[in-house]
A and B are shown apart, each in its own frame.
Chain A
Amino acid sequence: MSITVAQLKQGQRGIIKNFSEDTLPIKLLEMGCLPGNTIELVQIAPLKDPIYINVNGSHIAIRKSTASLIEVDLIE
């Protein structure tokens, strides 16, 4: 099933599919957010935004608006 990172629930993981190349900040790619890598939703902030993810060993926090640009295949 294909969803975006913003729709992941806490503890869920997904594999990054291709994303729209010109909207996603390059910094995210540099942090290891690349197609094929596994992304895990570690925590959602108490006010529901931002979210805290672990991608390719990088622990980073991003806003939901950015997260909704990354499509993943959910790992059940």
Chain B
Amino acid sequence: MSKNINVALIGNPNTGKTSVFNQLTGLKQKVGNYPGITVEKKEGICKLPRGVKAHIIDLPGTYSLNTTSLDESVVVELLLNKNDKDFPDVAVVVTDVENLKRNLLLFTQIKDLKIPAILVINMADRMTRKGITLDISLLEAKLNTKIALVSTRKGTGIDTLKELIADYKSLSIKPNIDTTTIAPEYFNKLRTAFPKEEVYKLWLVITQDVNFMPIEKKKIKDATSFSTKSNTELKKLQHRETVLRYQFINNILKETYKVDLAVARGFRATLDKILTHKVYGYVIFFLILLTIFQGIYVWSSYPMDFIDESFAQMSEWTKHTLPPGAFTNLLAEGIIAGIGGIVIFIPQIAFLFLFISLLEESGYMSRVVFLMDKLMRPFGLSGKSVVPLISGTACAIPAVMATRTIENWKERLITILVTPFTTCSARLPVYLIIIALVIPEGTFLGLSYQALTLMLLYLLGFGMSIFSAMVLHKILKINSRTFFVIEMPSYKLPLFKNVAYTVWEKTKSFVYGAGKIILAISIILWVLGSYGLSNNFKNAEDIVKTRIKTIGFSEFNQNHIEEEITSYTGELTINNPTLPIANVKDSVAVRIAALQQKAENEEIASYKLEHSFIGYAGKAIEPIVKPLGYDWKIGIAVITSFAAREVFVGTLATIYSVGNDEEETIKNRMAAEVNPWNGKPLFNLASGVSLLLFYAFAMQCMSTLAVVKRETNSWKWPAAQLVFMSSFAYIVALIAYQILK
């Protein structure tokens, strides 16, 4: 019979705790959130010797049980709450052999809670290189524990650890240190008031900002005799406690831990000199950013094109294979296309997290913070915000997910909120076509106006995100104790397995977390665009066919067909001078029929879209978008491109009943569109600039909203983002149009 035991993995950051977790659980792990907060919860199952099964929780990294962040509170709350279903039967404290002294501080605190604890000394493979020798058995005796000397890099020691976990009942739960000596009188009072509880537990409840159910904090505070301690006094006691623990640890390590300093120095110092150098440091960081950018912008475009193509084919295939009808349409155009819209982001997410986990694993990320902190601080951002902000230039979705590396919640939230302002690649198709339409072709100092406009738009996006960060920094009242203490870990070669796990897990969390919302919204948008209630919609085919018979194709399509035929006839006769006239006439007739069929289909699609729910919505918002210089057709495109900005161009193609695939044709058709109110071209400098500004600022991306919802664990922030960004965009576009028109 197998018995389940709860194991909690605890340790300082940068000790390889997650590597130990990966090696214990393999792929049998699950990543979620703690209820109501945004801290990641990692759990997994591990089979132990003698048929024991362990449920393992990888708790957030913490330096001690004195919490300074939400992540750390999670650890303390679990360790204090015996009724929690995850309360550990045994705690496995992971330490790094190079930083054993500091890491043991947390270990002694856990021992004092009388939770059975195993000490894992990780990175054993670095001992020789660092000149470290350890007396394990003496250390075990002094700390009243069992030790597993592990190297996750070499994969050694994990079996010993499994044995120790299975055998957890034989562990001593004798505390290492008597905390009460720091203030005997105070602790005696505590003990008499709550005779049933551990004094150290009470001490933690009093000093830590945690929601602890079993013993009400209020009750302790109410018992006035010992709540007289002011916060300053409590803090003094905490300091004394830390000193006491270090005394204990120093005494033990003096006998058991030897390090030959002559061997230890070198590599780290040299690398640090280069990587944080005032010139090379920034050059190297810039080059790394450039590579990341190249990865998510260029390299990922190959798999993305492939995915795009495959889903288009799958959709086509479904439409042709299944019996025609509403269900087939829903499947082919709604569901398959919707799933395609999720899968398409996977390459970018995978690439970005590949780079980020390499930077984190190698220890370089801390150097980035060191280099960038002063620069980002005035804007309420962290040095770590640089990577998300830059990757936002490719796509805001992986960028928002990348903010997880920022520990401080306020800095992280600000980064999440401002990242969508940076010019993502989905804005590019919209920018390019509108710039080509409305910006004149001249040059200024040898630079084309069009290129300058595009560059201005990029700068505008970046400037806006920095500016709004500054504003948010001022107005957001979030109490996160911000003091800056960043560990600079030693440099390590990234472990392939850890990198692979990170990439896998981030991709999975995007597909299952945000993917659901994206799929739902794309299906809704599809239904709204493909159905309508009016007779006009139902009889669209007949109405358009009759119209074509009586008054012919639209002027643009008629001209387009004539042009095509002229050039086709010309080519035919030049390439085949010997072809008899009759044959030429025949092929021209076939060509005309094909072009007319295509034009007919396009005009039907356009008519249907005009009379679908979205079509009516576009007309309904015309009074709202008219002051920006848009007619109802652009209104429709603005609504549909809420799914993703690049949809704007495709929607305009449909509504102007031109083929979706010929960019030149779309552009020509847009240039020919006449403003219904004054007879001038609809896409002119004023309305063009207004559109550019609208797309620069508006939150036209449901996928980003879905990711923000997932990352902030609430609808509040994505809603605020949507309202603020879109109304700001509206106002700016309005001003621009009214000035320029």
Q: Tell me the B276-321 residues at the A interface (CB within 8 Å).
A: 276-279, 281-282
The answer to whether A57 and B102 have CB atoms under 8 Å apart is: yes
Smallest CB gap from B238: residue in A: A26
Q: Tell me the A2-60 residues at the B interface (CB within 8 Å).
A: 21-22, 25-32, 34-35, 42-43, 45-50, 52, 56-60
Q: How far is the CA of A26 from the CA of B237 in the complex (A)?
A: 11
B240 to chain A, nearest CB (A): 9
| Given A49-B374, A58-B99, A59-B489, also A34-B232 (CB < 8 A) | no
Count: A-B pairs, CB below 8 Å = 112
The answer to whether B236 and A22 have CB atoms under 8 Å apart is: yes
Q: How far is the CA of A30 from the CA of B239 in the complex (A)?
A: 9
Asked if A75 is an interface residue, CB under 8 A from chain B, the answer is no
The 8 Å CB contact of A66, one of B246, B370, B374, B483, is B483
The 8 Å CB contact of A46, one of B278, B366, B481, B483, is B278
Chain B residues closer than 8 Å to A30, beta-carbon distance:
63-64, 66, 102, 105, 242
B256 to chain A, nearest CB (A): 15
Chain B residues closer than 8 Å to A50, beta-carbon distance:
370, 373-374, 484, 486
Chain A residues closer than 8 Å to B235, beta-carbon distance:
21-22, 26
The answer to whether A61 and B239 have CB atoms under 8 Å apart is: no
Smallest CB gap from B488: residue in A: A59
Place the interface of chain B in its size category.
Answer: 35 or more
Chain B residues closer than 8 Å to A22, beta-carbon distance:
232, 235-236
The answer to whether B485 and A28 have CB atoms under 8 Å apart is: yes
Smallest CB gap from A29: residue in B: B242
Chain B residues closer than 8 Å to A47, beta-carbon distance:
374-375
The answer to whether B239 and A21 have CB atoms under 8 Å apart is: yes
Q: How far is the CA of A27 from the CA of B415 in the complex (A)?
A: 25
The answer to whether A25 and B483 have CB atoms under 8 Å apart is: yes
B105 to chain A, nearest CB (A): 6
The 8 Å CB contact of A31, one of B102, B239, B281, B484, is B102
The answer to whether A34 and B487 have CB atoms under 8 Å apart is: no
Asked if B425 is an interface residue, CB under 8 A from chain A, the answer is no
The answer to whether A31 and B487 have CB atoms under 8 Å apart is: yes
B259 to chain A, nearest CB (A): 8
Q: Tell me the B35-64 residues at the A interface (CB within 8 Å).
A: 63-64
Q: How far is the CA of A34 from the CA of B68 in the complex (A)?
A: 19
Q: How far is the CA of A25 from the CA of B489 in the complex (A)?
A: 20
B676 to chain A, nearest CB (A): 56
The 8 Å CB contact of A56, one of B68, B102, B239, is B102
Smallest CB gap from B98: residue in A: A57
Asked if B4 is an interface residue, CB under 8 A from chain A, the answer is no
Chain A residues closer than 8 Å to B238, beta-carbon distance:
26
Q: How far is the CA of A43 from the CA of B277 in the complex (A)?
A: 9
The answer to whether A32 and B483 have CB atoms under 8 Å apart is: no
A35 to chain B, nearest CB (A): 8
The answer to whether B487 and A58 have CB atoms under 8 Å apart is: yes
The answer to whether A52 and B488 have CB atoms under 8 Å apart is: yes
| Given A43-B272, A46-B276, A50-B373, also A27-B483 (CB < 8 A) | yes
Chain B residues closer than 8 Å to A45, beta-carbon distance:
276, 370-371, 373-374
Chain B residues closer than 8 Å to A57, beta-carbon distance:
98-99, 101-102
Smallest CB gap from A63: residue in B: B484
Chain B residues closer than 8 Å to A56, beta-carbon distance:
101-102
Asked if B674 is an interface residue, CB under 8 A from chain A, the answer is no
Smallest CB gap from B280: residue in A: A46
| Given A21-B236, A60-B487, A61-B370, also A42-B66 (CB < 8 A) | no
A23 to chain B, nearest CB (A): 9
Contact with A along B451-493 (1 / 0, CB 8 A): 0000000000000000000000000000001011111111000
Of the A-B pairs whose beta carbons lie under 8 Å apart in the complex, a sample of 6, sorted by A's number, is A27-B63, A45-B370, A56-B102, A61-B484, A61-B486, A62-B485
- Chain B residues proximal to chain A, CB less than 8 Å: 63-64, 66, 68, 98-99, 101-102, 105, 232, 235-236, 238-239, 242-243, 246, 268-269, 272-273, 276-279, 281-282, 366, 369-371, 373-375, 481, 483-490
Given contacts A21-B236, A27-B485, 8 further A-B contacts (CB under 8 A): A25-B68, A26-B235, A27-B68, A29-B243, A30-B242, A45-B276, A52-B370, A59-B489
